[in-house]
Chains A and B, each alone.
Chain A
Amino acid sequence: MTTPTHSYPGPAGGPGGGDPAGGPGGADPGAPDLLGPGQPRDMDEPPKGGSFLGYLLRKLGGALTSMILVVVLGFFAFRMLPGDPVLKIAKERPMSPAQIAELRSQYGLDKPVIVQFWDYLVGIFTGDLGESYVYRKPVSALIVDYLGPTLLLTATAAVIAIGLGLWLGQLSAWRRNSLFDKVASSTSLVFWSVPTFWLGLILLMIFGGTLQWLPTGGMITPGLDPWSFAGIIDVIKHLILPVITMVAVVYAQFLMVMRASLIEEMSEDYLTTARAKGLTEDEVRKKHAVPNALLPTVTVVFMHIGGLIAGAVTVEAVFSWPGLGKLTFEAISGPDLPLLQGTFVVFSAIIIVMNLAADIVYRFLDPRVRRA
């Protein structure tokens, strides 16, 4: 049996357990109590949970801090990239030193770094991410154009990969060491170890090339209205190969984490209670074991959704999908600094938002976190 070598954060290490448990309540279950108004309380009854608003504000604060760090990093990291964008442009068409200097001042590259940084900050808060060197368009407009296709691709892939992974994972755990478990786990691990671009190219060659069942690239056949019926069918056809590629490569991690966490729950006493109550095995699994096993899984799933969006770069490049990934890929070859900065900030923001969403979902799933 192969086990994944990745270490998955459990509930304690996940966003839910972000607060140290060493508070007074954690140290001694018996913080004393003055009798609550009207309601008799046991001496060692744990204190009631905190408000949702406080929890939300704390998590929002954390997300905001991460965002600020990303913005700062986004600026400085790209200044350290090798290659001078102006010289690169100058290489492509003959330019006089005066023209080069003018280009520099046009991009604001002749100003001191600190001034550039200030302009960048002001830009971010006013929604102006600068102008792309290559496309000669505002970066924010480019990102808006390319964000939709990326969200379509990754959201479809994420929903399928998570659904498939969790479903297979819980079945594998429940029938641990059965033939089903062995086949499901090892198949998923084979796909997990396949490079994304390689799988994409193979699928492209077979289904797009040899068999010619599906289109080989892009999102829609030029000339079709995306909102017409024929257009929607066409987009779906274009989606199939990239989605299969993305799902195949990532669903193993969802399967593995679900399997591991359900196996851990399977020896818990409350399952014996449920069985003793006369529940069928399916009811024990669905009503008791899986809801508990989902807790650590949710953390991992949300963390990986963020990663999935960033991971779209390869797939979009292979299938010429007009998304943020492709845009980033082209920006790197520039180097198109404003565009890179923009996509970097957007990708990071998506990941931060996903982690925030994980924290909030977790609080609803696990009543114990409501105390934090």
Chain B
Amino acid sequence: MTDLSFDKVSITYRSASARGDVVAVSDISLDLPTGATLGIAGESGSGKSTLIMSVLRLLPKSAQIDGQVRLGGNDIKDLSFGEIRAVRWAQASIVFQGALHSLNPVREVGGQIIEALEHHAKGTWTNPAKRRDRMFELLREVDLDPSKAVAYPHELSGGQKQRIMIAMALACEPDIIIADEPTTALDVIVQKQILQGLAKLVAERGISLLMISHDLAVLSAVCENLAIMRFGKLVEYGPSDRVCLDPAEDYTKQLAGAFPQIGDPESRMNPRTLKPAEVRRAEPFTKTSEVVLEAKNLNVSFDTRQGRERAVRNVNLALHKAEILAVVGQSGSGKTTLARSLLGLQEVDPGSQMEFAGKALPRKAKALRTFRRQVQMILQDPSGSLNPKRSVYEAVVEGLRVQKITDDEYARVVGALEAAELTPAADYLESIPQELSGGQRQRVVIAGALALDPQVLIADEPVASLDASVRGEILSLFLALKKNLGMSALIITHDLGLAWNIADTVAVMKKGEIVEYGDVDTVLANPQHAYTQELLAAVPRLGSQSLVRNE
């Protein structure tokens, strides 16, 4: 078997640009004995990915490694390229974020698994027939139908792609599996299935697991030991229960606190953040009984190859003034279609009624434009929703120009940026998105919506692509907008913790239907529908390797 150890590892990216050399990892010592599970948590820029890529020498040429990365006693620096190629996948394999782009889009997934076997036959998978059998065996092990072998990545769901990645990692019976954010971008139920499957396969075979994630709860649900990284340095290391439940360092506390514990009264209506948004009104707005946006008997159908399918079924929803409503569901539950319908972006079935401020939603282009001034949309990925070549000012002002609001353009933009807590606004006006952090970009997107003084914000997974600490800031901003401006918000999410943090009401969607709808306190504390209970149970909790041990 193979032990992995990092001994005083520092990794520097040498660069000829003005930024000079960048130290990504400094002085990390960690051990992963055979059969152990270790989680490394950290936010973006903490150097955790750089650290694990060094194990298989997958870093770009500009990276310089000091210290020793030892695999089975050998310093990987001493291996020739041929030797490191033999180590790759045969001794240590990596589970990348399969849900994203880690599979070749133009090749069948089965063939991509076989490719690994071809390179590391190990005397076992010596001919094509044996490799094929092995591939089918692997698919069964990760609970995939063998017919999926001929599928292309785009034909699979996120969870299925992740299972393919795991099957591929197991292919050559490695001693170590390195999992790089294996469940990011998956919803809680699929996340639970993937983590349980991975942990079980690893435990059965005595494989060591090194997992990195920005989500402390995910790591602590699977790993025995946890390391916390920040700015390339090791902040804390220890058994995962101790690190999560009794952290010694402030940063660990902050990271652990960023994820809400559903049912914990302290985090109810109070997202944890070091930078809470300011509530300026002495008497903040609270949820009223005045209905702003309402959907009655809403149905949306699509024509697909299998015939007509209903994405949204008989949905009844009412969004009140100064209410935050969270629509929670898995991917594919129809929640995004619901949001698009409420914005008038999606054609709905006859008989569906949607009302804004008591009037039916307009259909004509001109009336729709006026309506959209009142209801603004915020998308998930701020990097994707901002034009990389336009300045912050141009990004925010665009809505105003589309709506032909010309008076006080500058003041409105500055006001919107300040409402989104980008202060002083003047410092940001000329920046382009690439100069801003993820949280700042999302604030710019929100400012773009706020510039039009909308009554309703509809946000689609507004914090899913953000780091834990930034997540708290943005959620706190939503809460402050409601309290200061009396704004209503409908937030689409797969994160029940978000609902617990800021929402007044929650609607749980499954296969296009709302299965449970009510006050957050009632629904999450005492879920009635089996599906809500399932969702709640799938949320990883801090400590105790909860996902692995309970089963």
Contact = CB atoms under 8 A, between A and B. Distances in A.
Interface residues of B, number: 56
26 contacts: A27-B336, A27-B346, A28-B334, A28-B337, A28-B340, A31-B332, A32-B310, A34-B306, A43-B330, A44-B159, A44-B330, A46-B156, A47-B306, A269-B96, A269-B100, A270-B101, A270-B102, A272-B58, A273-B94, A273-B104, A276-B88, A276-B93, A278-B85, A288-B107, A291-B107, A366-B106
Contacts, number: 157
B152 interface: yes
B116 A277 contact: yes
B134 interface: no
B105 A367 contact: yes
Given A43-B330, A44-B157, A50 B305 contact: yes
B511 A278 contact: no
B311 A274 contact: no
User: Which 9 A-B pairs have CB atoms at the shortest separation, nearest pair first?
Assistant: A30-B332, A44-B332, A24-B302, A43-B332, A42-B157, A278-B88, A44-B331, A367-B152, A45-B157
A276 B58 contact: yes
Nearest to B339: A28
Given A32-B309, A278-B90, 7 more contacts: A24-B303, A32-B512, A43-B157, A46-B154, A46-B156, A277-B115, A278-B87
A270 B330 contact: no
A274 B104 contact: yes
Nearest to A370: B152
Contacts of B346: 27
A31 B302 contact: yes
A46 B160 CA distance: 11
Given A31-B311, A287-B115, A268 B333 contact: no
Interface string B89-121: 110011011001111111100000001100110
A367 B106 CA distance: 6
Given A39-B147, A44-B157, A276-B94, A28 B105 contact: no
B158 interface: yes
B106 A31 contact: no
B304 interface: yes
Interface of A: 24-25, 27-34, 36, 39-40, 42-50, 268-270, 272-280, 287-288, 291-292, 295, 365-368, 371
Nearest to A367: B152
A29 B158 CA distance: 10
B86 interface: yes
B130 to A, nearest CB: 18
A288 B337 CA distance: 35
Contacts of B305: 47-50
B155 A48 contact: yes
B106 A275 contact: no
Given A36-B306, A278-B89, A27 B157 contact: no
A328 to B, nearest CB: 40
A278 B86 contact: yes
Given A27-B346, A39-B145, A40-B145, A268 B120 contact: no
Interface centre among B94, B155, B309, B332 (most CB of A within 10 A): B332
Contacts of B311: 24, 28, 30-32
Most buried by B among A24, A40, A43: A43
A232 to B, nearest CB: 40
Contact of A43 (B147, B303, B511): B511
B336 A30 contact: yes
Contact of B116 (A24, A40, A268, A278): A278
A278 B119 contact: yes
A40 B159 CA distance: 14
B397 interface: no
Interface of B: 53, 56, 58, 85-90, 93-94, 96-97, 100-107, 115-116, 119-120, 145, 147, 152, 154-160, 168, 190, 302-306, 309-311, 330-334, 336-337, 340, 346, 511-512
B417 to A, nearest CB: 30
Given A28-B340, A277-B116, A368 B105 contact: yes
B307 to A, nearest CB: 8
Given A28-B334, A31-B309, A33-B309, A46 B89 contact: no
A275 B304 contact: no
Contact of A46 (B87, B88, B155, B511): B155
Nearest to A33: B309
Nearest to A50: B305
Given A42-B159, A270-B102, A272-B102, A32 B154 contact: no
A30 B106 contact: no
B58 A270 contact: no
A273 B148 CA distance: 20
B106 A365 contact: yes
Given A31-B311, A273-B102, A292-B104, A278 B155 contact: no
Most buried by A among B94, B102, B104: B104
A274 B116 CA distance: 8
A269 B101 CA distance: 6
A42 B332 contact: yes
Given A30-B331, A32-B511, A278-B119, A273 B96 contact: yes
Contacts of B160: 42, 45
Contact of B89 (A24, A29, A276, A295): A276
Contacts of B90: 278
A370 to B, nearest CB: 8
Nearest to A271: B104
Contacts of A34: 306, 309
Contacts of B103: 270, 273
Nearest to A292: B106
A43 to B, nearest CB: 4
Contact of A29 (B86, B94, B332, B511): B332
A291 B452 CA distance: 46
B489 to A, nearest CB: 20
Contacts of A45: 155-157, 160, 332
B96 A43 contact: no
A367 B310 CA distance: 26
A268 B100 CA distance: 10
Contact of B306 (A33, A366, A368): A33
Contacts of A268: 101
B119 A27 contact: no
A254 B310 CA distance: 46
Nearest to B92: A276
A295 B87 CA distance: 33
